Chain A
Amino acid sequence: MAYFFQYLIYGLQLGSVYALLALGYTMVYGIVGMINFAHGDFLMIGALGTYFIARAFEGFQVNSAFPMLIVGIIIIVAMVGTGAIATGVEAIAYRPLRNKPRMIALITAVGVSMFLENFPRALPFIGPNPRSFPTLFRGKSLNVFGATITTTQIIMILLAVITMLLLYLVVNRTKIGSQMRAVSMDKDAASLMGININRVISITFFIGGALAAVSGICYASAYPQVDVYMGSWLGNMSFVSAVLGGIGDIRGAMLGGFILGIAQIFATAINSTFGYAVGFIILIVILLVRPAGIMGKLVVEKV
């Protein structure tokens, strides 16, 4: 029982990382109709960026941990920075290809991903070596039903959940949210309503990038090692989460992320190699049994 609870906490923590990242995949797919394979690298940029920002703020540390206010500032700077980079990637790499066949955008995304991993690797002040992620806050350990939970874990899971709720409110309750939904349903009709499509897409990428940064911070707080390739595996797993939940559906991405995170932790507990395979097994099964995902509806193409 204690083990079960312990693994559940780890699963929720990994799940929140996947869920946050899957949201970016799903939003971009919903609005532009492309799979942004570089999305995982936004997580890396967020995490690596946070590493450098935290080092710049080192002077504020008290007892080798940051005060809450400074942590908040670090997170927000990382979110804005990563969001801005994501917006830039869309404007430079994807926008010129928007009306081209989908395969072209897909291949471009793979190229962007390679660039985002290898360009920082080539920069002398970043380089290929992993760095240890700073402790943003000094966690206390709590004992619940025999399982050990740290306050850091609780804060990170809460941060992820609050971010997701905010996103849900933005998409369903605000003007920009309804514009996003309109653009995802019909771009031509949306521009006939006076909606600036490019602006809506830029904002979507910005939000996706900002969420990826939060996801990177959550991940690096749990597994405190950051390097330029960390986004690729996590990106793949989040892509599986988005497909599992039903790509294009925001609730689906959250659900898929948590299911996959929990499944992976429990599978790893059984056999550490099996943990790596479980994501792909889930992907294959979902594609066979319910190709539109848990929340997705199959779209019948009209001829």
Chain B
Amino acid sequence: MAMLEVNDLHVSYGAIKAVQGVSFKLDKGEIVALIGSNGAGKSTILRTISGLERAKSGSILLEGTELTKLKAHKIVEQGIAHVPEGRRVFPGLTVTENLRMGANLIKNKAEISAEMEKIFDIFPRLKEREKQQAGTLSGGEQQMLALGRALMTEGKLLMLDEPSMGLAPIIVEEIFEIIKKINAEGTSILLIEQNAFLALNTASHAYVLETGKITMQGSSQELLNDERVKAAYLGA
């Protein structure tokens, strides 16, 4: 069974059809990327999977469980961890408080501390900033915090919306190394990126999205060598 299976998904904002019949799947342990330009509907797809937007029709199955009828907070319980576009850390809460928010569903206190130690192992920088308000962190640190907070929910599927946005190249590299490491430890990842080169070098499989429809798909290697992809997204 696929980890995630999206079938003929339609999402509209009023009269605007943002997503028109998108289907894709992601197997357990895989990194799959959705690439495409601004307004192609990438973020809308992620927001619909995690219940922030309602699907007009179509289905979203997480290991066979239908998600489209569930509320956002119930979808988190099913095992979806979503790092939203623009990071969206809680600016007035400290780093620790932000991480603890991710542990909302964990009842056991010892487990929360153990989980938090794990996050601090992955992101030593966050440990240094433990007591600092999240709003005062740098962009890269906020992205690390957003990732750490999502990991605290112990999801099976991690969805990343533009993790490289607005970050210096050296930080982007660091973050993507961590993303690969997280994946190597068994978490499946659905990645959205405008930086197609980066996305295709991270993911095993990718889908190209244009104005709400999937226009191309294949292994990352195939897409990297595809002339149309090169022309439109790789700037070659």
Contact = CB atoms under 8 A, between A and B. Distances in A.
B88 A193 contact: no
A178 B97 contact: yes
A194 B106 CA distance: 10
B105 to A, nearest CB: 5
B90 A189 contact: yes
Say whether chain A's binding surface is mostly helix, strand, loop, or mixed: helix
Contacts of B89: 189
A179 B92 contact: no
B213 interface: no
B187 interface: no
Interface in B159-183: none
Interface string B131-158: 0000000000000000001100100000
B61 interface: no
Interface residues of A, number: 16
A191 B88 contact: no
Nearest to A198: B71
B153 A182 contact: no
Given A185-B90, A192-B72, A194-B105, A178 B100 contact: yes
Residue among A178, A179, A189 with the highest chain B CB neighbour number at 10 A: A189
Nearest to B77: A194
* Residue in A190, A192, A193 whose Cβ sees the most chain B Cβ within 10 Å: A192
Interface in A220-251: none
Given A178-B93, A181-B92, A186-B90, A193 B52 contact: no
B73 A185 contact: no
A151 B72 CA distance: 51
A161 interface: no
A193 B102 contact: yes
Contacts of A191: 51-52, 71-73, 76
Most central of A179, A188, A197 by chain B CB within 10 Å: A188
Interface string B70-96: 011100110001101000111111000
Contact of B82 (A190, A192, A195, A197): A192
Nearest to B52: A188
Interface in B47-69: 50-52
Contacts of A178: 93, 97, 100-101
B125 to A, nearest CB: 21
Listed from nearest, the 8 A-B pairs whose CB atoms lie closest are: A194-B76, A191-B72, A189-B88, A194-B104, A193-B101, A185-B90, A194-B105, A196-B73
Interface of A: 178-179, 181-182, 185-186, 188-197
